[in-house]
Structure 1
Amino acid sequence: MILFFIPFALFILFFINTMTNSLCLQRDIPEERQPKVFRTINVLVTILLISSYVEVSFT
């Protein structure tokens, strides 16, 4: 199960970061705020991925 989930999680994080970059460019977010936007989104997505892994593993 974990052999499937880790590549899937990495793909999701890469795809979300690509979409976040597009959002920053489209909304003209200043460069000094962009790291905070990326960090917030990455932390939230990581929490979602961990919770989904725990749910799938232990149910």
Structure 2
Amino acid sequence: MISIFIIFAIFILYIINNLTNSLCIVKEIPEERQPKVFRTINILITILLFSSYIEILYT
């Protein structure tokens, strides 16, 4: 179960990073702000994935 969820999480993070890159390009976010945008979105998605795993684990 955990291996399937880890593969799913990596796939989701990859897709979200591609979408974040597209967002930065479309909104013309400056290069110096882009790492902060990526970091914030990755942290929030990781928290979401972790809480989803805990919910699946205990239900």
TM-score, reference length from structure 2: 0.99
Structure 1 vs Structure 2 CA RMSD: 0.3
* Aligned 1:17-32 pairs, distance under 5 A: 17-32=17-32
Distance 1:3 1:42 in 2: 20
User: Which consecutive segments of 4 or more residues in structure 1 shift more than 3 A?
Assistant: none
Instruction: Show structure 1 runs of 5+ residues with no match.
Output: none
Residue in 2 aligned with 1:48? 48
Q: Percent identity?
A: 68
Q: Which has the higher contact order (CA 8 A, sep 6+)?
A: 1
Gaps of 5+ in 2: none
Letter in 2 for 1:8: F
Per-residue deviation, residues 6-59 of structure 1 (Å, max 9, x unmatched): 000000000000000000000000000000000000000000000000000111
Amino acid at match of 2:2: I
